[in-house]
Chain A
Amino acid sequence: MSTPVDDGALIRQIEQLSDQTITDCYQCGGCTAGCPVGEIMEPPPSRAIRLLQLGRVHELLDSQGIWLCASCMVCGNRCPRGVDYAKIAEACRAIKLRAKYSRVDPDTIVIDETEEIPQQAFVAGFRKFAG
């Protein structure tokens, strides 16, 4: 990533895109507790927000965790402070995608595999994972 923005502005951009206030989080861990992929998401939701609170935004943007979020919304639904991590993850993905980053490169998909995958999944997948 070579966009020359300072980290403070980047965090503000994440807050603006997601309409969430990072400082509201009091690190209770409830989001991680309810996340269906919480065991494999790295960083899991509460630690992801902690990274943002500490200004370590690039670590989060470069992580695998933000791409694993299925937007099931349990995190935001259960949060005692009303912070919706699913939206924050979405904002992080948007920043990456707008900079032409692709989590999944269409060119790397092998033809044989495509016969198993429904068309709708392709469309959704490209929208979510390809810049």
Chain B
Amino acid sequence: MSSATEPKTDQRSGGPRVGVFVCHCGINIAGTVNIPELVKRAGNVPGVVAAADYQYCCSDPGQNLIRETIAKERLDRVVVACCSPTLHEKTFRKTCAAAGLNPFLCEIANIREQCAWVTKDKDEATDKASDIVALTVARATYDAPLVATGVPVKKRALVVGAGIAGIQVSLDIANAGYEVLLVEKEPSVGGHMSQIFATFPSLELGRSILVPKMMEMLASPGIRLMTYSEVEKVSGHIGDFKVRIRRKARYVDPEACTGCGLCVTACPATTKSEFDRNLAERKAIYLLDPQALPGKPVIDPETCFRMRRGECGACAEICPENAVKYDDEDELLEETVGAIVLATGYQLIDQEQIALYGIGRVQDVIDGMGFERLLSATGPTSGEIRRPSDGKVPKKVVFVQCVGSRDQFHGVPYCSKICCMYTAKNALIYKQRVPEGEATVCYIDVRTPGKGAEEFYRAATESGVKYVRGKVSKVFRTADKIVVWSADTLAGEKVELEADMVVLASALVPSRSGVDLARQLKIQIGASGFLAEAHPKLRPVETLTGGFYLAGTCQGPKDILETVVQSSAAAAKVLALFGQDKLYGEPTVALVDAEVCVGCGNCEKTCAYEAVKVDPVLRVAVVTEALCAGCGACAVSCPSGAVSHLNFSKRGYCAAIEEVVK
């Protein structure tokens, strides 16, 4: 419960002592508003005992003036007429607190954004500014000296997704001494980075740089890894989240299993391997990859013969450790954490959306990730570049960029950022492996940001990769060749290319399960479809919901470097939170007068933050301050006036309106 109470008596008997400080803001306000006139008028507003002006109130001398006046004139309310409260409300509240005045008895009258900047005529601007000041003074006299109550912070983090982003976030938080719960929906960790053969621009093998991170994570005592698990429900608020996690049935006891792999060899049921982009098959009992970590298989009930039609028991029969458990069940766990980092990653755009490029329709048209799998030693062709249809080594490969990207009509409007670089890398590797082969890249632009990137692209062209500038319009087969219709805009012509294999750089979209989870948690999703950061430049790892942070490609397309950078940044924000024992929110929250409240529930229906609910036992509404954002919607919706919004009272607003209309 808040320790503040709504003033029930008229503050004016006994008289408030309001100080008004008018800021020039250089010429931003002074250039349009007549400051001396405004100060004079402010001095005449009822309740005002001191009115002054200064060039920049937010400066040290400006703040000193406010502090000195508070002491000298025994002020009990301060109104600063200046810029938007978004900029300096906190500053001036701190100033008042330093002078011994409760910070919530300080109000801002915005005469810049809402007056000087939008009014041309000086007289009009001065009149408007004077009205704004008068109404703010009136409202301020109904302010109460609020005190923020702190909520304790549970110093434990939940990280959703154990790709490189989730792994990096977890390491940074655990290395600082805090516990991390790392939840991954797949049976093993590593995300897309574990599918990639080589990275740009160094050509270091993906596995080589990923495995040390994975090993460090697995060995870290502070990180509790839960694979094959999903976050089902989150309630609570920053510092105190209650999370329900579903541990899916593996049907294999990971403690007993030694990872020998005999079960996989024995299993008769197969299905397409999504890990290998449908270029290979996997068994019903499977590991994503022979080098997966943790190396314990799970059974996919959709494919398993025993689970679908009761036949077979091959895996259980052959397992020397008796680790197969057909009667395994999902397990639900409830955990408490103080911060949640979403690192749910990306997926490639649905093949149906890019069907015109031939994928799924024309044999030997694959996507970039599929090509990575062909290059990988544990992939469908044991690391040899062979085309899916007949296993022959392709002598003419056409790489197509911008497949579904930069195209709002046939895909997504944004650029997927990494494709120019990985296409150059894949084409270069192809030329290294098949020197007599022809590699052609169809591009619109070649975007090479970052260290070594432009140099890498040059190396690709020097290795013999041909770059033809034109967007591909058609991919089809004639007899034994694939035909690609494109253009060479630099020569100003249409071109027709023949290919044995076509590799598409498909657009990146956020992982569907990540978006579903974000929707459920009411985390904002941007126009692009990716999870929304709180500010695109200045707050790139926070969300607008306190306690939720973002890391990696779930927030937008980016390469491994940027992912690691962002992950460490997200961890830093979590550590800043954990550095506090208690979290103090703004106390300008909703307050329910239990004697007036009839329990109608209108406020509960109105609240977007689930911060006010009708208590089933008390039969009146109760506010959870930690969740309350202080928006005031409930106070407006209450038919009996039982809900008030602290320091935004109806009486305060009525007094403000009276000042303006008189």
Contacts and interface: CB of A to CB of B under 8 A. Distances in A.
Contacts of B470: 28-30, 32-33
A74 interface: yes
A39 B409 CA distance: 26
A18 interface: no
B472 A33 contact: yes
Contacts of B407: 80-81
A46 B487 contact: yes
A80 B494 contact: no
A47 interface: yes
B474 A34 contact: yes
B489 to A, nearest CB: 4
Interface string B401-427: 010001111110000000000000000
Contacts of B469: 29
A122 interface: no
A74 B473 CA distance: 9
B356 A32 contact: no
Nearest to B485: A33
B486 to A, nearest CB: 5
Contacts of B493: 32, 38-39, 44
A52 to B, nearest CB: 14
A47 B409 contact: no
Nearest to A48: B492
Given A33-B487, A79-B409, A80-B409, A28 B492 contact: no
A75 to B, nearest CB: 8
A115 B409 CA distance: 46
A95 B114 CA distance: 51
B356 A44 contact: no
A69 interface: no
A46 B486 CA distance: 12
B49 interface: no
B488 interface: yes
B487 A32 contact: yes
A34 B494 CA distance: 8
Given A26-B444, A33-B494, A80-B406, A46 B473 contact: no
A127 interface: no
Contacts, number: 73
A80 B492 contact: no
Contact of A78 (B356, B406, B494): B356
Nearest to A38: B494
B11 to A, nearest CB: 60
A30 B473 contact: yes
Given A28-B444, A30-B487, A44 B494 contact: yes
Contacts of B406: 26, 80
B474 A47 contact: no
Interface residues of A, number: 22
A39 B444 contact: no
Nearest to B489: A29
B410 A32 contact: no
Interface string A19-34: 0000000111111111
Contact of B473 (A26, A34, A47, A81): A34
B471 interface: yes
A28 B409 CA distance: 15
Nearest to A75: B473
B423 to A, nearest CB: 16
A109 to B, nearest CB: 31
A61 interface: no
Contact of A29 (B410, B411, B487): B487
A26 B444 CA distance: 9
Contact of A28 (B410, B474, B489, B494): B489
B299 to A, nearest CB: 44
Interface in A30-55: 30-35, 38-39, 43-44, 46-47
**Chain B: number of interface residues, binned into ranges:** 20 to 34
A106 interface: no
Interface in B473-491: 473-474, 485-489
A30 B492 contact: no
A3 B356 CA distance: 43
B494 A35 contact: yes
A43 B492 contact: yes
A130 B488 CA distance: 33
A43 B487 CA distance: 13
A82 B406 CA distance: 11
Contacts of A31: 473
A105 B492 CA distance: 30
A46 B469 CA distance: 12
A30 B492 CA distance: 12
Q: Which of B356, B407, B469 has the most CB of A within 10 A?
A: B407
Contacts of A32: 470, 487, 489, 493-494
Contacts of A78: 356, 410, 473
Interface in B377-421: 402, 406-411
Nearest to B473: A34
Interface string A53-77: 0000000000000000000001000
Contacts of B471: 28-30, 33, 80
B474 A33 contact: yes
A45 to B, nearest CB: 9
A79 B410 CA distance: 9
Contacts of B356: 78
Nearest to A39: B494
Contacts of A30: 470-473, 487
A100 to B, nearest CB: 31
A80 B407 CA distance: 4
Nearest to B484: A33
Nearest to A46: B489
A80 B445 CA distance: 14
Contacts of B410: 78, 80
A78 to B, nearest CB: 5
Contacts of B444: 26, 28-29
A26 B402 CA distance: 13
A34 B485 contact: yes
A33 B493 CA distance: 8
Contacts of B494: 32-33, 35, 38-39, 44
A90 B162 CA distance: 55
Given A27-B489, A33-B472, A43-B492, 11 more contacts: A26-B406, A28-B489, A29-B487, A29-B488, A30-B487, A31-B473, A32-B494, A34-B474, A35-B494, A38-B485, A47-B489
Interface of B: 356, 402, 406-411, 444, 469-474, 485-489, 492-495
Minimum-distance CB pairs A-B, first 8 = A34-B473, A29-B487, A38-B494, A80-B407, A30-B471, A29-B470, A33-B473, A28-B471
Interface of A: 26-35, 38-39, 43-44, 46-47, 74, 78-82
16 contacts: A26-B406, A27-B489, A28-B489, A29-B469, A29-B486, A29-B488, A33-B470, A33-B487, A34-B473, A38-B485, A39-B493, A43-B492, A44-B492, A46-B489, A78-B410, A80-B411
